[in-house]
C-alpha cells in the first residue's frame, strides 16, 4: 500500500539532494540527473559537487549541515534557482565506531551534530516552503543500525534511531497536509564511510544500486525504503525478539 504520493516520472521533478558529494548521496544525484530531474546539489565540498554537475544544469549550493545559517542560505539559493521543491532528500551523515569502554564525548557530539542536528537544520530550512506549497516531500536517510542497539554503534545507532522516530512523527504531521515523508534505512552500502569498518559486512551493495532502490521506493510512494531486503528483513525480525533473546542473538552473530 502506498503511504505517500507516487512519482510516475522523474523528468522535470525539482529535487534537492543534501549530502550529494559522496556515497549514496552522490549516486542518488547522478541517477536523478540521468532521469532528467532538475537537481540541486549540496554538501561541504564544492569541487565534488561541481564534478557531478558538470555538463548538466544542476544547481550547486554548498553548505555545512552543522551550521544553521549555512543551510538557510543554501535553501534560499536553491529556491531562487528551482522556484519550488518537489522533494528534498537529506543524505548527509557520518559514522564513527564507538563502544562504551572507548566513549569519547567530543566524537559523540560531532556525530550527533551531523547525523541528527544536521537533518533538523534542513527541516528548519525547507518545512515552511513545503507547507506553503501544500505539496512535495522530504526523505530522511537513516540506517538499519537505528532499529536496535548494536556493537560499535553506540552513538551512530542512537542518531539513526532518532531519525527513524523523527520521520514517523513527521509523517503523522505532514501527510494530512498533502506532503510526502520517506524514511530510507540502508543496510551495508559500499561508501567511504563503510570502508572504515574492520569487519565483514553482510549483503554489501554498491552505492549505485542503493540509489536505484531509494528512488524506486520513493516513486512507489513507500514510507520506509530498506535494502538489501535479504539482510534488512532479518533485522526487522530481530526487532520483535524480547531483550534476552535479542542480546543473545547479537552476541552470537557479531561476537560482541
The residues annotated as belonging to the active site are: 156
Quick one: how far is CA 177 from the chain centroid?
22
**CB within 8 Å of 124: residues ≥ 6 apart:** 68, 71, 72
Give, for 51, the enclosing helix (H) or strand (E): helix 46-53
**CB within 8 Å of 189: residues ≥ 6 apart:** 23, 24, 204, 205, 206, 207, 210
Whole-angstrom Cα distance, residue 24 to residue 210? 7
Whole-angstrom Cα distance, residue 139 to residue 147? 18
Three-state DSSP state, 11: coil
Quick one: how far is CA 5 from the chain centroid?
19
Whole-angstrom Cα distance, residue 242 to residue 256? 18
- DSSP strands (E only) in 142-188: 180-186
Three-state DSSP state, 205: strand
Whole-angstrom Cα distance, residue 251 to residue 218? 34
Whole-angstrom Cα distance, residue 152 to residue 154? 6
How many C-beta atoms lie closer than 10 Å to residue 17's C-beta? 32
Pairing of strands 205-206, 189-190: parallel
Amino acid at each position: 500500500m502506498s503511504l505517500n504520493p507516487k512519482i510516475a516520472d522523474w523528468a522535470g521533478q525539482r529535487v534537492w539532494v543534501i549530502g550529494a558529494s559522496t556515497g549514496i548521496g552522490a549516486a542518488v544525484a547522478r541517477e536523478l540527473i540521468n532521469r532528467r530531474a532538475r537537481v540541486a546539489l549540496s554538501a561541504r565540498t564544492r569541487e565534488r559537487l561541481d564534478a557531478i554537475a558538470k555538463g548538466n544544469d544542476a544547481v550547486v549550493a554548498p553548505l555545512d549541515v552543522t551550521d544553521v545559517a549555512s543551510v538557510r542560505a543554501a535553501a534560499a539559493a536553491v529556491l531562487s534557482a528551482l522556484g519550488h521543491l518537489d522533494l528534498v532528500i537529506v543524505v548527509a551523515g557520518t559514522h564513527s565506531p564507538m563502544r562504551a569502554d572507548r566513549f569519547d564525548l567530543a566524537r559523540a557530539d560531532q556525530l550527533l551534530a551531523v547525523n541528527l542536528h544536521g537533518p533538523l537544520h534542513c527541516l528548519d530550512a525547507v518545512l515552511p516552503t513545503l507547507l506553503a506549497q501544500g505539496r512535495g516531500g522530504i526523505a530522511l536517510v537513516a540506517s538499519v543500525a537505528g532499529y536496535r542497539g548494536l556493537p560499535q554503534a553506540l552513538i551512530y545507532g542512537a542518531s539513526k534511531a532518532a531519525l527513524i522516530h523523527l520521520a514517523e512523527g513527521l509523517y503523522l504531521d505532514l501527510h494530512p497536509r498533502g506532503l510526502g515523508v520517506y524514511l530510507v534505512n540502508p543496510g551495508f552500502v559500499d561508501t567511504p564511510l563503510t570502508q572504515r569498518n574492520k569487519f565483514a559486512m553482510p549483503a554489501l551493495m554498491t552505492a549505485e544500486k542503493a540509489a536505484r532502490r531509494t528512488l524506486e521506493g520513493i516513486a512507489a510512494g513507500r514510507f520506509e525504503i530498506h535494502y538489501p531486503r535479504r539482510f534488512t528483513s532479518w533485522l526487522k525480525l530481530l526487532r520483535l525478539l524480547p531483550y534476552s533473546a535479542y542480546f543473545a542473538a547479537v552476541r552470537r552473530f557479531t561476537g560482541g
